[in-house]
């Protein structure tokens, strides 16, 4: 059966001429990391977790996660806060709204903090995990996602600046108030909408 294919609103906006302010399109995404070396992750002991303000906390191995949800293909533009953008990157992964439907956030749940294997965190409103084009990606350009682009999982949130599209993801912490965030603690915006140019808080 063919995978569900999603065209992100970011693509539709660009085709209508609705571009984020002060962005320049380039051919391929530039790699940024908060550490100089990315190790080979211990996938035998890797666990993907969702916890906090949810009725059904989740903990799965990498294989269990990939086999527990239907894969989707996503075509999305990618907007970095440093003012470059890449059009129509093809991803494959799991829609986060499917994960959220399984864990069932409580009425108090408003925010998510994304936790990553190298220590990075980012925070944004929970509503973006329910967007049709937000996925946990394990493929990029038709192949397993390269290590420096986020293996084993990259959260892709096309409607926000790319620092929210965290790499090396292992967990989603659902909270009532915004918590943590590597760049957010350094003055960056809690939401980060490129069309509103929400670079800094």
Give per-residue pLDDT as tens, 75-130.
999 999 999 999 999 999 999 999 999 999 999 999 999 999 999 999 999 999 99
CA distance 158 to 79: 7
**What tens digit of pLDDT does each residue of 20-57 get?**
999 999 999 999 999 999 999 999 999 999 999 999 99
Residues 84 and 119: their CA atoms lie apart, in Å, by 25
DSSP, residue by residue, 177-200: S----TTGGGTB-SS--GGGT--B
Residues constituting the chain:
201
**Residues pairing with 156 in the sheet:** 135
Hey, what are 198's tokens?
């929400």
pLDDT digits (tens, 9 = 90+) for 160-180: 999 999 999 999 999 999 998
Task: Using the CB atoms, write b or e for 152-185: b if 16+ within 10 Å.
Answer: bbbbbbbbbbbbbbbbbbbbbbbbeebeebbbbe
C-alpha radius of gyration, the chain, whole number: 16
CATH superfamily of 44-70+94-196: Oxidoreductase, molybdopterin-binding domain (3.90.420.10)
Confidence band, pLDDT 50/70/90 cuts, at residue 15: very high
What are the residue ranges of helices labelled H in the chain?
9-15, 62-68, 96-103
Query: 102, exposed or middle or buried, with CB in 10 Å at 0-12, 13-18, 19+?
Result: middle
Rounded Cα distance between 105 and 175, Å, is: 9
pLDDT at 201: 87
Closest CA to 138 of 94, 183, 189: 94
Could you tell me the CA-to-CA distances from 155 to 16, 56, 129, 134, 150 in Å, in that order? 26, 21, 10, 7, 8
Q: What is residue 180's predicted lDDT score, i.e. its pLDDT?
A: 86
**What is the pLDDT averaged over residues 126-147?**
98
């Amino acid at each position: 059966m063919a995978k569900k294919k999603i065209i992100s609103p970011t693509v539709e906006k660009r085709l209508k001429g609705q571009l984020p302010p002060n962005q320049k399109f380039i051919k391929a995404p530039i790699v940024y990391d908060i550490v100089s070396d990315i190790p080979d992750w211990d996938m035998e002991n890797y666990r993907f977790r969702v916890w906090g303000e949810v009725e059904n906390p989740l903990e799965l191995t990498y294989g269990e996660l990939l086999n527990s949800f239907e894969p989707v293909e996503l075509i999305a533009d990618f907007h970095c806060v440093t003012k470059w953008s890449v059009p129509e990157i093809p991803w494959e992964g799991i829609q986060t709204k499917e994960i959220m439907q399984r864990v069932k956030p409580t009425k108090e749940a408003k925010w998510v903090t994304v936790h990553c294997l190298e220590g990075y965190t980012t925070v944004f409103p929970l509503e973006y995990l329910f967007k049709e084009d937000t996925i946990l990606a394990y493929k990029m350009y038709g192949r397993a996602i390269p290590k420096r682009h986020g293996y084993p999982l990259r959260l892709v949130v096309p409607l926000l600046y790319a620092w929210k599209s965290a790499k090396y993801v292992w967990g989603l912490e659902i909270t009532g108030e915004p918590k943590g965030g590597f760049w957010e603690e350094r003055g960056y915006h809690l939401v980060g909408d490129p069309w509103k140019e929400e670079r800094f808080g």
